[in-house]
Amino acid sequence: MELDNVMLARMLTSLTLGFHIIFAAMGVGIPVLISVAEWLGIRKKDPMYTLMAKRWVKGFTVTVAVGVVTGTCIGLQLSLLWPSFMKIAGEAIALPLFLETFAFFFEAIFLGMYLYTWDRFKNPYIHWLFSIPVVIGSTASAFFIMTVNAFMNAPQGFSLVNGAIVDIQPLVAMFNPATPSKTGHMILSSYATSAYVLAALAAYKLLKGNAHEYYRKALSFTMVMALLFSFGTALWGDIAGKYLAEYQPAKLAAAEWHFETKPQAELVLGGVLDKDTLEVKYSLKLPYALSILADGSPNSVVKGLDQIPKEYWPPLFIHYLFDGMVVIGMYMLIVPIFFFAWRKRKKGQTPRMLLRAIIWGAPLSFLAIELGWVFSEVGRQPWILVGYMKTQHAATTADNVGEMLVLFSLLYAFLAVVSTAVLRRMFKDKPVQAELQ
């Protein structure tokens, strides 16, 4: 594969998004768990839940700092690497870009108040109230930035006349058909992933023999949240599937290796594709499932790739990305169900195998988000702005993109090492027993 400017720009943008989304997901989800934990601590008069909030918010500040740096890199790269795209998007979708910055400032202001006002009020609910704007700001930030990505998949709210953008309607561009599925799915998956990250920390301590009640309560609490948010993510996946069937049938058909337009379409899991005959072998086929996903009825006609010009077919390997998301999503649902089933049947210590499964849930949930981003972006190809601009026409013609790729790779490696070291140092030799005294 020739590494021309277009491919190098795509690689650098993918690297930045892939690294940023790790910290962005935690930046969106962890405030929710912090807020709920503190509320439970006040309501139950249980200092352990309050301590969860205190410890988690310390780590959260590190993820925010790295998220700000990598988010800034994304903004810089959009302008430098994709100038033609930003010429259109910068005008049509400028409103949510501005609102995303405002939401972050809103979150940062109240995060500072939240951090430095512990035990300053006779009524503890006053301090807890400072967490609400942090939750709103972080979630709103994700919502606004996801509307930009949604706009790339379902552009509207403007007209393109002789290469010039006219008749701009910012709210129409922002609330495009892709907005509900994109924003809801990303926000809920961030909540679920954050719950798994915090659950994995508690499970790791229990696995290492630290059976303090704090970790048992933290594990139960985070598993409840993981179950709720994983279930919500799965439900929102159904909304996303119906959006794809109506507005981006090529992406859905490529994801499911659905080559023939027909009713009662089956959903294909796994398998090997013969690229010459387009025959799928060794797959698991679920009868009617694709028709139900696409339109809610087993008899619904699902558009296949046979009705789409081959030059507009997305890369067919996105099938495996879709399968990966589905399998991991099922895992994220099953693990909490087993956890609570065991707790109900046999009260006592959680089996080591189940603790390991919870720990594995954290990296797998991040993997699902990464697969989802690649599926969304690659599945939109050859378009950067569907129906208006192809990716190859949007990339910069400037030199030295390869050198930028190397430099940013080194930056992200540095940030990964430093942030990990800081987080480890932050909690090393600081047992919860000492903090509870």
CA-to-CA distance for 148 and 101, rounded, in angstroms? Answer: 13
Residue 436 confidence (pLDDT): 60
The pLDDT score that the predictor gives to residue 32 is 92
Q: What is the pTM of this model?
A: 0.90
Q: Which two tokens stand for residue 74?
A: 């994304």
23 and 63 Cβ atoms separated by less than 8 Å? yes
Q: Which residues of the chain have pLDDT under 70?
A: 1-2, 163, 346-348, 428-437
d(CA 395, CA 390): 9
Task: Determine if the peptide bond prior to 298 is cis (ω within 30°).
Answer: no
- How far apart, in whole angstroms, are the C-alpha atoms of residue 63 and residue 12? 21
**pLDDT in the model for residue 7:** 82
Q: What are phi and psi of 115, to 5 degrees?
A: -65, -35
Residue type, 191: Y
**How many other CB atoms are found less than 10 A from the CB of residue 161?**
9
Q: What is the per-residue pLDDT for 163?
A: 67
382 preceded by a cis bond (ω within 30 of 0):
yes
Q: Give the pLDDT score at 106.
A: 87
